[in-house]
Amino acid sequence: MAVVIKIVVCILLFCVAYFDVVQPAHQQITGRYELGSMEAATVGAPWPMPQKYDVMQTYMFIDKSNFEFPVIAKTCDLLEDAIARYYQIIFATDHESRSKRSLLNRERSGASVVMTKTKMVSSTKDSNNHGQLKNISIILTYKCEEYPSMNMDEQYEIKIDNWDNPGEGLLTSDSIWGILRGLETLSHIIHEADDGAVRVNSTFIDDFPRFSHRGVLLDTSRHYLPKSILLENLDVMAYNKFNVFHWHIVDWQSFPYQSRVFPDLSRKGAYNEYTHIYTQDDIAEIVEYARVRGIRVLPEFDTPGHTLSWGAGRPGLLTLCYADGRPDGTHGPVNPVPASTYDFMRRLLAEVVSVFPDAYVHLGGDEVNFGCWKSNPEINKFMQKMGFGSNYAKLEEYYIQKILKIMETLNHGSMVWQEVFDNNVTVGGDTIVHVWKGGYQRELAAVTAAGHDALLSSCWYLDGISTTADWKTYYACDPQRFNGTEQQKKLVKGGEACLWGEWVDATNLLARLWPRASAVAERLWSNEDVNDVKTAASRIEEHRCRMVRRGVPAQPVNGPGFCKHEFAQ
């Protein structure tokens, strides 16, 4: 449906007499034995769908050895790096399965080789063939920013063999971030045709994201994730135009963050103090790898709950739980009473903002269990002194507000999970509230009515699994579909696909996350009216095979089927 709308728009704007959308690839099975349940993948369709996407039936072919990206821009290190990377992504597709197939063709049938050649020759006589495209100019008109940020400009424009520049290719943006997104789109629309040649259809794209915060949350505490997997995942995030890696770096189970000021935290709190940690060098490498792909790294240091692993390396930080009038040997949330707690948090967070260049830190604040606080005499004495009665939410508020204050003095923004808002903690207007529980529509309405920026994750907890096309439910969830004013809707900055780590490590992370998170990617990038699951099914099928071809173990998304180039380790 969305594609039809695009086509209508295209007719109106360009008055092209004859064109069509790209035909989907056909299954190998003949029509008479058509296999109804299998999705036919599109060919050369971008994911996520651009805001404005007009594609003609006419096309140009590209010869890898005679193709360039001429650059018209001031010096921009990110740009040079990106062009080299995308040249590789677009053309380094002659991998094993393809070579094997060519080899098989040759072995089995000389005729098929000749046939292919005939096709390529004949195709030059095809009236849709507009000849060879030898370059796509990259025009960066304005900003070469160093770091991606919440308000980064990601708009770009692509013109390939357009009415106003026939036979030419252009990618234009005011911002390096737009150029990065545009290169990714180019790497989708430049595709392998049936005859094995590389083609790009005559195309006009004007594109920008619907939401500015499009994140993937990974959890490196329940299971440690080696740096190599985090880097590879950043690649795949870029393939899907995600722009925030929310790094839930520590939690109850382990503390892999190696702190300079508090080295005991990982020394005693990591699964292994040597092998299961992130050194300052590791983090710098991950932040840099993300930066050059236009991805922010948003660290989360979740307190006062979810902190058991902090305790070993920082005696006195956690609340001692009591039973029968004495400590029972277990520990609860951070102890919000002593001044030493805030001194510790100040020094830790000061280090965190020096290590992670992002303007925000996620402070957690979810699922604080009041049971241990209730059992502790010191806590109760403090409650009395402060006049909190038996309202432990007040104590949580007391703690969180002191932490938010620390972030203010550090001149950084804060994000918090929704409980902080739900428990009536007074937070500054610039604090972003992250909605993750059920009943999210009511919650988004309340959070934005209170004037807070909001992020949505409730419907995108990808750690839940099933053997269904569950991407469709992620796809159907819209962060602005709640009762609220236009002004409220604008306060929703986006959302995040979350892959909590209880059942996920390097063995299965990429397969479990992709292409299911791709559904979230399109929801957060594309226009609200791009919501037809049926047409999306064919495109996500292609997109998953595109990722597979790039070496990503993105798992089957629509049930039985195949990729032209299967995954091979």
Catalytic status, residue 367: yes
Q: Contacting a copy of itself (CB under 8 A), which of 272, 354, 384, 487?
A: 272
Cβ–Cβ < 8 Å for 348, 307: no
The residue range among 291-299, 345-353, 418-426, 556-564 that interacts with a copy of itself, by the rule CB under 8 A, is 556-564
- Using the rule CB under 8 A, is 560 a contact of a copy of itself? yes
Alpha-carbon gap, residue 420 to 80, rounded angstroms: 43
Binding mask 373-412 for a copy of itself (x = CB under 8 A): ----------------------------------------
Nearer to a copy of itself, 450 or 506 (CB): 506
Residue 272's contacts (CB-CB under 8 Å, 6 or more residues apart) are none
Range in contact with a copy of itself (rule: CB under 8 A) among 176-184, 191-199, 249-257, 406-414: 249-257
172-191 exposure pattern, b = at least 16 Cβ within 10 A, e = fewer: bbbbbbbbbbbbbbbbbbbb
Diameter of the chain by CA atoms? 91
| Residue 45: exposure state from Cβ atoms within 10 A (0-12, 13-18, ≥19) | buried
CB nearer a copy of itself, residue 308 or residue 383: 308
Q: Which is nearer to a copy of itself, 127 or 468 (CB)?
A: 468
Q: How far is the CB of 194 from a copy of itself (least distance, A)?
A: 12
Between the two ends of the chain, the Cα-to-Cα distance in Å is 37
Instruction: For residue 50, give the DSSP letter.
Output: P
Distance, CA of 18 to CA of 328 (rounded, Å): 79
Cβ-based nearer residue to a copy of itself, 13 or 465: 465
> Which of residues 18 and 274 has its CB atom nearest to a copy of itself in the complex?
274
Q: How near is the Cβ of 337 to a copy of itself at its closest, in Å?
A: 20
CA angle 251, 255, 258 (to 5 degrees): 140
Which amino acid makes up residue 342?
Answer: Y
Instruction: Decide whether 105 or 531 has the Cβ nearer to a copy of itself.
Output: 105
Q: Least Å distance between CB 348 and a copy of itself?
A: 18
Residues 277-336 that bind a copy of itself (CB under 8 A): 308-309, 311-312, 329, 331
DSSP, residue by residue, 167-178: EEEEEEEEEHHH
Name the residue nearer to a copy of itself (CB basis): 87 or 567. 567
Nearer of residues 54 and 219 to a copy of itself, judged by Cβ: 219
**535 binds a copy of itself, rule: CB under 8 A:** no
C-alpha span between 248 and 498 (Å, rounded): 10
Binding residue for a copy of itself, selected from 60, 352, 504, 513, defined by CB under 8 A: 504
Determine the 3-state secondary structure of 117 from DSSP. Answer: helix
E strand map for 336-405: 360-362
From 477, 483, 486, select the one nearest 457 (Cα to Cα). Answer: 477
18 makes contact with a copy of itself (CB under 8 A): no
- Other CB atoms closer than 10 Å to residue 161's CB: what's the count? 21
Euclidean distance between CA atoms 297 and 149, whole angstroms: 10
Among 26, 74, 95, 101, the residue binding a copy of itself under the rule CB under 8 A is 101
Chain centroid offset of residue 349 CA: 25
Asked whether the beta carbons of 154 and 175 are under 8 A apart, the reply is yes
Kindly indicate which of the ranges 120-128, 265-273, 401-409, 428-436 contains the residues binding a copy of itself, using the contact rule CB under 8 A.
Answer: 265-273
136 DSSP β-pair partners: 169
Which member of 115, 166, 338, 503 binds a copy of itself (CB under 8 A)?
Answer: 503
Q: Which two tokens stand for residue 89?
A: 């992504």
Q: Which uninterrupted H or E stretch holds 535?
A: helix 533-549
State the nearest-atom distance from the C-beta of 479 to a copy of itself, in Å.
25
Name the one range near a copy of itself by CB under 8 A: 33-41, 116-124, 178-186, 202-210.
Answer: 33-41
Could you give the CA distance from residue 120 to residue 114 in angstroms, rounded to a whole number? 10
Is beta strand 71-72 parallel, antiparallel or unpaired with respect to 136-143?
parallel
For position 269 contacting a copy of itself by CB under 8 A, the verdict is yes
Least gap, CB of 379 to a copy of itself (angstroms)? 19
The residue (of 118 and 141) whose beta carbon lies closer to a copy of itself is 118
Binding a copy of itself (rule: CB under 8 A), the pick from 293, 512, 539, 549 is 512
CB of 265 within 8 A of CB of 313? yes
Catalytic residue among 34, 288, 367, 566: 367
What string marks each residue from 216 to 245 as x (binds a copy of itself by CB under 8 A) or -?
-----xxxx-x-xx--x-------------
Smaller CB separation from a copy of itself, 336 or 501: 501
Helix/strand/coil for 497 = strand
DSSP per residue, 190-244? SEE-TTS-EEEEEEEEEE--S-SEEEEEEETTTS---HHHHHHHHHHHHHTT--E
CB 475 to a copy of itself: min, Å:
17
Nearest 5°: phi and psi at 313? -90, -5
Q: Please give the residues from 463 up to 502 whose contact with a copy of itself meets the rule CB under 8 A.
A: 463-467, 501-502
Judged by CB under 8 A, which stretch of 22-30, 135-143, 186-194, 531-539 contacts a copy of itself?
22-30
119 in contact with a copy of itself (CB under 8 A): no
Q: What's the closest the beta carbon of residue 25 comes to a copy of itself, in angstroms?
A: 11
Distance CA 43, CA 46 (A): 9
Confirm or reject binding of residue 462 to a copy of itself (CB under 8 A): no
Kindly determine how many residues on this chain lie close enough to bind a copy of itself according to the rule CB under 8 A: 69
Residues with a known catalytic role: 367
Binding site for a copy of itself (CB under 8 A): 27-30, 32-33, 35, 38, 97, 100-101, 104-105, 108, 221-224, 226, 228-229, 232, 252-254, 268-276, 308-309, 311-312, 329, 331, 463-467, 501-508, 511-512, 548, 553-556, 559-562, 564, 566-569
